[in-house]
């Protein structure tokens, strides 16, 4: 309280000094905005590989090397002279672009024969029909073609492309311009129907970024406009709306500038979530301050007195909300992932800075001439009048407090059981814009080719094993059998498949002699005798990490069971999907465990703040209820637990706790004044209920606009926020009063009791 007195004196009595300090802080923040941090090195980047943008498709060509994008070409009949001629023109047009380094397709992979001749698989354009039929047989049996660059039915071709980044001048080069060049070449062959699309790592990234940038500006404008309109209707005063909006805006300026100085914005999660978090926390506390100031002004207090009163009566609740939220995010610092730790640091700093911005900006502005008419329209407060009309609700809750408390506890437990079914996952379809051509092409490749992403098993043998040992091929064959047993994995490819395409009736494991006939780059990709390493690749679809994680564990278990048969060999499952799955599980587990830690920490902080274990226990239900309700909704609609959803939980927990603290703070002050628990609950309901409802309406309106986004991740985040904030209002205005009436044993202050006697 001493600190609140000091803060109230500084802000309301030394306004010039406060204004100068805020101006200096803003100037430094703007300077921080202009600061350009050095680019992160590969060794110290915060985010795990490819997790930050979530635009990660481990696109690979048939030999496992990384590709920047794919041309996906659908044709009715590949093995016809006109079709081959059209495809060669398309490839030539693409290769003419300065930024293209290489294009690989069926015509560029070598024909495998015992003579070691490097002939193309497809014949010249003017070849006879018989030669094209022969080519069909060769291609459909070629291990590097079928299932790798050509679908099983021969209708979908994959053309892996790599860029020469020195000549890439814009995003269009890697997307629209490239696609236009290919389609223009195909259009010259009017008699050959070719459907050409572009997908892969780079096009998917560009499609996402374009949608994100477009939606970011669009929904900011829409949501802010609706929020201002709704705030004007609820506050009935333009000055109140401007002052309340200015506080979180200044908080964003200060926070982003400071975080940029600290190089924390390189964490993509921080850069996206922190502005949302600051807006929500700042708006919540700001509305509570403004409602109190308007009431005080309506009661006849001067602008300076009303501002001072707001800091004294609401400032403690605002400080507690900021403290609990900051501690909750600070709990992320114990996570294993630097990505998660950086997110926790950024959010904790943002919450503290925003608290300072709110408790200085609003009282300072309202203590000046701006506060002269700040209360105009207060007499027409729709929410306040509505609460009086719904006074029967709080009376019902107080009369049936035990019943409502039982419903709250049992309902929370039942929802928690449903929430326990939530599982981590990561799918490309959850991050890509709805209807994106790049993703539609990817989905088509999943169906036609069994996916574009690759998983690989690496077989390493010791120096004691001879390079020409048949045991090497036997081990590879056993690994292939393991991969082939998994129905969600398609087209295993190893040196065995390639050697098996040579004519002859020898056992596959006895065909090491044919290795010398293979092109060096093909052989090295699957069997490197110098490094004593063999690689088996297999395709997977965009079914999600949750689907493939059990598959990966099953394969690793079977590889372990195979190990005693080959004691000189080491067999390892690898690949970007495997690594990403482990990173995702670690990050989501870190976030989820930190969310639990935050809940426990908040419980202890509230117990200490209110000096009551009973109060701390009472707050668990209204704070957990909104989270388990939203988790059950996610289970019901089949949405997995992923990084964005856990972040939404963390942000919304802060909002739920904010309203709980404001209600409890008012309740405790009323108990000290009157000593009557039921009357204190009524007064708290009418005193802070209107601010809680206004906050909920405004936040739901802002997030509700994002429900129409074409980015699934944004829609999910918005739906979770709307659900959690709505459930939090029920928890704090219905369940919390009932729990207080049932379990609270508050006593009036000693001085108050003596006065009453």
Going from N- to C-terminal start, the domains of the chain cover: 2-42+206-429+582-756, 69-199, 452-540+544-574
What strands, in cross-sheet order, belong to the sheet with 69-75?
Answer: 100-103, 156-163, 69-75, 194-199
Q: Can you list the positions of beta strands (E) in 363-484?
A: 453-461
pLDDT of residue 228: 74
Return d(Cα 327, Cα 134) in angstroms, integer.
71
Nearest alpha-carbon partner for 748 in 663, 673, 665: 673
Residue 442 has pLDDT above 80, yes or no: yes
Return d(Cα 712, Cα 710) in angstroms, integer.
6
Give the fold, CATH level 3, of 452-540+544-574: Alpha-Beta Plaits (3.30.70)
Q: What is the pLDDT of residues 43-54, one digit of tens each?
A: 443 333 333 333
- Pairing state between β 156-163 and 69-75: antiparallel
Is residue 59 within 8 A of residue 69, CB to CB? The reply is yes
Return d(Cα 524, Cα 531) in angstroms, integer.
10
pLDDT of residue 754: 39
| Residue 275 DSSP label | H
Return d(Cα 188, Cα 181) in angstroms, integer.
11
Q: What is the pLDDT of residues 187-207, one digit of tens each?
A: 999 899 999 999 988 898 888
Q: Model confidence at 276, in pLDDT bands (50, 70, 90)? A: confident
Scan for tokens 């379809």, then name that residue: 429
pLDDT of residue 753: 39
* Mean of the per-residue pLDDT values of the chain: 81
Higher-confidence position of 663 and 525: 663
The segment with the largest mean pLDDT, out of 219-223, 327-331, 576-580, is 576-580
Higher-confidence position of 237 and 23: 23
Return d(Cα 199, Cα 204) in angstroms, integer.
6
Do the domains spanning 69-199 and 452-540+544-574 agree at the CATH topology level?
yes
| Residue 674 DSSP label | H
Span 508-519, average pLDDT? 66
Return d(Cα 131, Cα 473) in angstroms, integer.
34
Residue 512 has pLDDT above 70, yes or no: no
Residue 74 has pLDDT above 90, yes or no: yes
Scan for tokens 């404008």, then name that residue: 221
Return d(Cα 317, Cα 684) in angstroms, integer.
13
pLDDT of residue 182: 94
Run of H or E including 270? helix 268-298
Return d(Cα 755, Cα 757) in angstroms, integer.
5
Q: Can you list the positions of beta strands (E) in 556-646?
A: 569-574
Question: Each residue of 102-135: b (16+ CB within 10 Å) or e?
Answer: ebbbbbebbbbeeeeeeeebbbeeeeeeeebeeb
Q: Model confidence at 38, in pLDDT bands (50, 70, 90)? A: low
pLDDT of residue 223: 65
Scan for tokens 């014949």, then name that residue: 123
Give the fold, CATH level 3, of 2-42+206-429+582-756: Multidrug efflux transporter AcrB transmembrane fold (1.20.1640)
Return d(Cα 142, Cα 614) in angstroms, integer.
73
Return d(Cα 666, Cα 356) in angstroms, integer.
21
pLDDT of residue 265: 74
Q: What is the pLDDT of residues 578-601, one digit of tens each?
A: 887 777 777 777 767 767 777 787
pLDDT above 90 as % of the chain: 20
pLDDT of residue 64: 42
Span 209-238, average pLDDT? 73
Domain boundaries 69-199, CATH class? alpha beta
Span 65-81, average pLDDT? 87
pLDDT of residue 70: 92
Reduce the DSSP state of residue 459 to 3 states and report it: strand
């Amino acid at each position: 309280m001493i600190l609140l007195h000091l803060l109230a004196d500084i802000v309301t009595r030394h306004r010039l000094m406060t204004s100068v300090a805020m101006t200096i802080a803003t100037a430094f923040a703007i300077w921080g905005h202009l600061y350009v941090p050095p680019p992160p090195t590969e060794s110290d980047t915060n985010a795990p590989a490819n997790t930050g943008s979530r635009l990660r498709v481990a696109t690979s060509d048939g030999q496992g090397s990384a590709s920047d994008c794919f041309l996906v070409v659908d044709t009715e009949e590949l093995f016809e002279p006109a079709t081959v001629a059209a495809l060669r023109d398309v490839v030539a047009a693409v290769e003419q672009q300065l930024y293209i380094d290489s294009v690989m397709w069926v015509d560029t992979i070598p024909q495998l024969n015992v003579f070691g001749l490097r002939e193309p698989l497809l014949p010249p354009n003017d070849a006879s029909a018989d030669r094209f039929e022969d080519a069909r047989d060769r291609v459909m049996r070629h291990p590097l073609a079928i299932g790798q660059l050509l679908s099983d039915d021969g209708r979908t071709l994959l053309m892996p492309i790599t860029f020469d980044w020195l000549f890439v001048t814009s995003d269009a080069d890697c997307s629209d311009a490239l696609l236009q060049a290919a389609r223009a070449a195909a259009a010259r062959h009017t008699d050959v129907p070719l459907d050409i699309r572009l997908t892969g790592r780079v096009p998917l990234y560009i499609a996402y970024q374009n949608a994100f940038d477009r939606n970011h500006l669009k929904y900011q404008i829409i949501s802010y406009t609706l929020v201002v309109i709704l705030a004007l209707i609820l506050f009935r005063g333009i000055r109140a709306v401007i002052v309340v909006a200015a506080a979180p805006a200044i908080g964003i300026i200060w926070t982003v500038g400071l975080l940029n100085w600290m190089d924390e914005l390189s964490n993509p999660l921080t850069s996206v979530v922190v502005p949302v978090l600051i807006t929500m926390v700042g708006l919540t506390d700001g509305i509570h301050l403004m409602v109190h100031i308007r009431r005080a002004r309506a009661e006849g207090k001067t602008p300076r007195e009303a501002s001072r009163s707001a800091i004294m009566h609401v400032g403690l609740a605002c400080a507690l909300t900021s403290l609990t939220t900051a501690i909750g995010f600070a709990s992320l610092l114990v996570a294993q992932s630097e990505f998660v730790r950086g997110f926790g640091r950024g959010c904790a700093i943002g919450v503290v800075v925003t608290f300072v911005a709110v408790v200085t900006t609003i009282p300072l502005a309202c203590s000046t001439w701006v506060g002269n008419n700040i209360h105009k329209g207060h007499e027409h407060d729709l929410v306040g009048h509505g609460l009086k009309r719904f006074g029967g609700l709080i009376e019902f809750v107080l009369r049936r407090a035990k019943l409502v408390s039982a419903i709250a506890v049992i309902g929370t437990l039942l929802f928690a059981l449903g929430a326990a079914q939530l599982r981590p996952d990561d799918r490309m379809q959850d991050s890509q814009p709805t209807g994106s051509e790049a993703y539609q092409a990817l989905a088509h490749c999943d169906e036609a080719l069994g996916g574009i992403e690759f998983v690989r098993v690496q077989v390493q043998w010791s120096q004691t094993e001879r390079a020409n040992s048949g045991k090497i091929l036997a081990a590879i064959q056993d690994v292939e059998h393991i991969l082939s047993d998994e129905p969600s994995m398609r087209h295993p490819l190893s040196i065995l498949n390639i050697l098996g395409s040579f004519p002859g009736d020898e056992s596959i494991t006895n065909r090491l002699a044919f290795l010398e006939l293979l092109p060096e780059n093909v052989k090295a990709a699957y069997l490197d005798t110098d490094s004593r390493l063999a690689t088996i690749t297999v395709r997977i679809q965009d079914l999600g990490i949750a689907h493939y994680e059990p598959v990966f564990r099953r394969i690793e278990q079977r590889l372990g069971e195979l190990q005693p048969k080959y004691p000189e060999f080491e067999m390892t499952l690898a690949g970007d999907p495997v690594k990403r799955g482990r990173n995702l599980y670690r990050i989501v587990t870190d976030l989820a465990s930190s969310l639990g830690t935050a809940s426990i920490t908040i419980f202890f902080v509230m117990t200490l703040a209110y000096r009551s274990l009973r109060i701390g226990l009472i707050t668990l239900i209204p704070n957990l209820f909104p989270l388990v309700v939203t988790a059950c909704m996610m289970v019901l609609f089949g949405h997995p637990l992923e990084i964005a959803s856990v972040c939404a939980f963390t942000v919304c927990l802060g909002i739920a706790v904010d309203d709980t603290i404001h209600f409890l703070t008012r309740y405790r002050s009323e108990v000290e004044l009157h000593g009557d628990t039921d009357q204190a609950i009524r007064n708290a309901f009418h005193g802070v209920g209107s601010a809680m409802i206004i906050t909920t309406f405004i936040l739901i309106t802002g997030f509700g606009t994002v429900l129409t986004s074409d980015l699934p991740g944004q829609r999910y985040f918005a739906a979770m926020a709307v659900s959690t904030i709505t459930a939090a209002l029920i928890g704090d205005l219905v369940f919390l009063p009932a729990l207080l009436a049932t379990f609270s044993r508050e006593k009036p202050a000693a001085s108050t009791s003596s006065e009453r006697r």
